[in-house]
Amino acid sequence: MSVLLTGGAGYIGSHTAVSMIEAGEKVVVADNLSNASYESLRRVQELTGAEIPFYQLDLRDERAMNGMFERENIESVIHFAGLKAVGESVEKPLLYYRNNLDSTLTLLEVMERYGVRNIVFSSSATVYLDGNAPFSENSPLGCACPYGWTKFMIEQILRDAAATGKLSAVLLRYFNPVGAHPSGRIGEDPSGVPANLMPYISQTASGKREKLTVFGNDYPTRDGTGERDYLHVCDLAEGHVAALRYCREHPGAEVFNLGRGQGVTVLELIEAWNRANAMTIPYVIGSRRDGDIAVSYAIADKAKALLGWEARRSVEDMCRDAWNWQKQNPNGYEL
Ligand code: NAD
Ligand code: WQD
């Protein structure tokens, strides 16, 4: 019996593959490689010694999906596949709705056809309505971009599908995953200029970017810069192992925040990086970025109580591991 990781060649999927294999699971990966490289999976196999059946397919391709479910003995699915760039989703909303919704619907239809009942879904803290942090799973919802709405809509689709009694769904709202596997063999490999803070800091550290621009220092936070709940990607990966265990044992749909439950400002993250890696990241203060909110962090109690999961790694661990990956792979997976 195997666990299918859709989008498993990507950043979070590849780290989760390692944790799942370490937990004794067999994994199969399906990915169209639109935002990933097969090299990540080659390295996961190297790190774990496991063989991972890989299907380069688009989840919307029902024939290819049927073929995979026919060949593999799939028992559960962790559904990472999707487009995730906030800015791009504003420019190309139809691309985002088409890709993220259609791939989920096709996946669910094929799962039903093959009697696969368990799904863990990658949702996002971006579904929370601004202004109510810290967010609990019951905080009001509302999204600021099409990407976020795709997560909101897919959550609803999964709740409705689970209400029929034919599906068990766990919806994971990730906060800000950062860092890399401590080996430095797998990590985050953004294409082009990074939109997110941690990869931008990494590339500034390596000299690829001249300096970091801090987007605004006039927010109502400790030091005026944006506050987020950064979470080590390996903690997040382990959260999926716990979530899948829960999913198998609990029919219906349940939602969990996965975060550390602590807000860290942009300046605090820069300081943590400097401490962890004995360097000084050059930065300037710029204006606010459109669409940014001041504060986002989790109340993470529910995951601890019901999944038995909590993040163990520190902000310094995240910075050290991000730098280790960046140093070893200045051009990401491009060999
Ligand atoms: P990623 O882009 O590295 O991984 C997503 C993978 O899905 C990629 O490998 C891509 O090639 C694949 N994919 C996209 N559309 C596909 C399709 N139609 N068919 C097959 N494969 C397809 O992103 P990630 O950071 O690993 O994120 C994984 C999931 O977690 C995404 O759903 C994302 O929205 C969600 N998420 C990410 C973050 C974050 O900060 N990284 C935060 C919250 C939620
Ligand atoms: C963090 C902080 C910026 C870059 C995004 C998505 C969200 C989720 C995770 C998927 C903010 C500041 C950033 C820079 C900066 N993804 N910043 N200079 O915006 O919290 O979340 O990724 O679901 O949906 O919106 O993360 O890393 O972009 O920003 O000052 O060059 O760093 O203003 O305060 P964000 P981020």
Predicted TM-score of the model (pTM): 0.98
Give CA–CA dist 271/322, Å, rounded. Answer: 14
The protein residue whose alpha carbon is closest to atom 28 in ligand 2 is 196
Q: Check if 176 has its Cβ closer than 6 Å to any atom of ligand 2.
A: yes
Rounded distance, CA 149 to CA 319, Å? 30
Asked whether 228 lines ligand 2 (CB < 6 A), one says yes
Q: Ligand 1 atom closest to Cα of 59?
A: 19
Q: Can you tell me whether residue 254 is helix, strand or coil?
A: strand
- Amino acid letter, 91: E
Cβ(300)–Cβ(261) below 8 Å = yes
- Phi/psi for 165 (5° steps) reads 85, 0
Please report the atom of ligand 1 found closest to the CA of residue 176: 40
Coil, helix or strand at residue 150: helix
149's enclosing H/E stretch is helix 146-163
At residue 68, the pLDDT reads: 98
Ligand 1 mutation target, pool 4, 12, 108, most atoms within 8 A of CB: 12
Interatomic CA distance for residues 278 and 48, integer angstroms? 31
The pLDDT, as a whole number, for residue 175 is: 98
Give pLDDT, residue 307. Answer: 98
**Spacing, Cα 283 to ligand 2 middle (Å):** 16
CA distance 178 to 324: 13
Pair 1, 26: CB distance under 8 Å: yes
Report the C-alpha gap between 84 and 82 in whole angstroms.
Answer: 6
Q: Is 31 in the pocket of ligand 1 (CB under 6 A)?
A: yes
Phi then psi for 272, rounded to 5 degrees? -60, -40
CA distance 165 to 175: 29
Which residues sit opposite 177 in a β-bridge?
Answer: 231
Q: Does ligand 2 come within 6 angstroms of the Cβ of 226?
A: yes
Question: Residue with the nearest Cα to atom 10 of ligand 1?
Answer: 35
Q: 154 CA to middle of ligand 1, Å?
A: 14
Q: Over the chain (335 residues), what is each successive 10-residue block's mean pLDDT?
A: 98 99 98 98 98 98 98 98 97 98 98 98 98 96 97 98 97 98 98 96 97 98 98 99 98 98 98 98 97 97 98 98 97 89
Give CA–CA dist 164/168, Å, rounded: 10
Q: What was the pLDDT predicted at 52?
A: 98
Sign, CA dihedral 317-82-63-110, equals positive
CA of 335 relative to ligand 2 center, distance in Å:
28
Show Cβ contacts of residue 95 under 8 Å, excluding neighbours closer than 6 positions: 83, 88, 89
The catalytic residues are: 147
Q: Is 58 in the pocket of ligand 1 (CB under 6 A)?
A: yes
* pLDDT given at position 264: 98
Residue 127 is given by DSSP the state G
Please state, in angstroms and as integers, the Cα–Cα distance from residue 10 to each residue in 6, 70, 275, following that order.
9, 24, 29
Give the span between the Cα atoms of 202 and 194, in whole angstroms.
10
d(CA 187, CA 99): 24
Query: d(Cα 17, Cα 282) in Å, to the nearest integer?
Result: 35
* Ligand 2 proximity of 311 Cβ (cutoff 6 Å): no
To test the pocket of ligand 1, the residue of 4, 11, 255 to mutate (highest count of ligand atoms within 8 Å of its CB) is 11
Q: If you measure from the C-alpha of residue 291 to the centroid of ligand 2, how many angstroms do you get, rounded to a whole number?
A: 10
**Pair 29, 80: CB distance under 8 Å:** no
Whether ligand 1 lies within 6 angstroms of the CB of 59 is answered as yes
Q: Does residue 204 contact residue 194 with C-beta atoms inside 8 Å?
A: no
